[in-house]
Amino acid sequence: MALEWTKERTPTWDEDKARIVGGADPGVFDARYKALRVGGLVPGTWWRVQDGGATVGYGWMDLVWGDAEILLAVAPDARGKGVGAFILERLADEARHLGLHRLYNIVRPTHPDSAKVTRFLTARGFTASEDGSLYRSVR
């Protein structure tokens, strides 16, 4: 895989986001993603991950009090191939470049693979808190 990381200048909901983020199993992401329409603006900062021209994932970041809330989304056929780890490290680089303190992610209690996602993040330096949030320093 030769993964490419591209920041979206004006992020909009597109067919690839609808497929990868909006098409995720119920409980994975906020249900509002399923209601978005192609072409509509989306909040936060988005990066597209491509492999050979095909979109295989997304990274998302929203700045909150010096920390970065993040989202990682990987296409089902690209899972288990290092795309999620690639996205996570690029998001950490972006946060570090912005002078932020930490990355954090909230694994929803409704997520069908919450234990697996939590293990993925803790194996990459995140610490779980009692409310389901996971934090990692980027300094």
What would the two tokens of residue 139 be?
């300094």
Domain count, the chain: 1
18 inside domain: yes
- pTM of the prediction? 0.92
Query: Quick one: what percent of the chain has pLDDT higher than 90?
Result: 74
What would the two tokens of residue 28 be?
């994975």
* CATH number for the domain harbouring residue 42: 3.40.630.30
Q: Which residues span the domain enclosing 82?
A: 3-101
Residue 66's region, left for phi above 0, alpha for psi from -120 to 50, else beta, is left
The stretch 42-52 carries a mean pLDDT of 95
**What is the residue type of 106?**
I
112 inside domain: no
111 inside domain: no
* 23: exposed, middle or buried (Cβ count in 10 Å: 0-12, 13-18, 19+): middle
- Give the pLDDT confidence score for residue 24 in this predicted structure: 87
**Tens digits of residue pLDDT in 68-118:** 999 999 999 999 999 999 999 999 999 999 999 999 998 888 888 888 999
Average confidence score pLDDT of the chain: 92
